[in-house]
Amino acid sequence: MEPRFKTLGVSLQPQPREMPLPPFEPDALQRIFAEVSHSHAYQTFEFVFNRRGAKFVNEDHDFVELRPALFHVQARMDGPDVLTTDSAEKKVVRILKTATERLGVPGFMQFSLQVIAIAEVPGDDPDAKDFVAEKLMGGGDAPEELGAGYFGGGVRFRRLAEDGTGEDALAIEPFLQDNTQLFLNHQITRIFPEYPLTELDQIGSWIEDAFEFLSTPAMRLLGR
């Protein structure tokens, strides 16, 4: 069993250099758009938040948003141009590095990552709602107590960092568009209260860890 990855999203909260946060230079944002568009096909450029930042869009699930309080890159992996885990990681990290350098951001105070995937329900007669309720939620009639039509909507597993600097989480739900599939939502969050994140290669390591987590431990859980 293997997951089918749909999107990879990474967000960074820039370290404030002054308050209130000054807007980014419009010319710098347009140069970043031109530079990243050589490698990645973003169709539109628009200024956002009263020209304080910009958004590059290819489609709803494939975009870049750069504003003084947040960098966010989302890459669609199952579109017409399928991205492997390696190519998705390289795309996101390359764009974040380019924006960080061109906008002169010294570091970041918070990092978050989200990987969305779907996976087939194991067994000869796959039923995602039944699988979640019986295998992951332990069965029982709790949904029926709520009334007709309720079902076990999913489970969430969490792991908190011992030093309080973040957490990892995995949510597993029936994929409502296809009841033979499961919807997987894996998130990683890290905060840097004392020393901002300045080495963006670390982001690549976190992305690799996220894909590996969904491909191995998560699939082992579903297949046990």
In tens, the pLDDT along 167-190 reads 999 999 999 999 999 999 999 999
Tally of CA atoms within 13 A in the half-sphere of 134 that contains its CB: 8
How many Cβ atoms from other residues are within 10 Å of residue 143's Cβ? 16
Proportion of the chain above pLDDT 90, given as a percent: 74
Residue type, 58: N
Strand partners, 44: 57
For the cut 70, the answer to whether the pLDDT of residue 90 exceeds it is: yes
Over residues 17-40, the mean pLDDT reads 91
pTM of the complete model beyond 0.85: yes
Q: Which long-range contacts (CB under 8 A, 24 or more apart) does 21-24 make?
A: 21/52, 21/68, 21/69, 22/68, 23/50, 23/51, 23/52, 23/53, 23/68, 24/52, 24/53, 24/54, 24/66, 24/67, 24/68, 24/103
Over residues 81-97, the mean pLDDT reads 95
The number of angstroms, rounded, from the C-alpha of 55 to the middle of its chain's C-alpha atoms is: 17
How far apart CA 96 and CA 85 sit, in angstroms, is 17
Look at residue 79 in the predicted model and tell me its pLDDT: 85
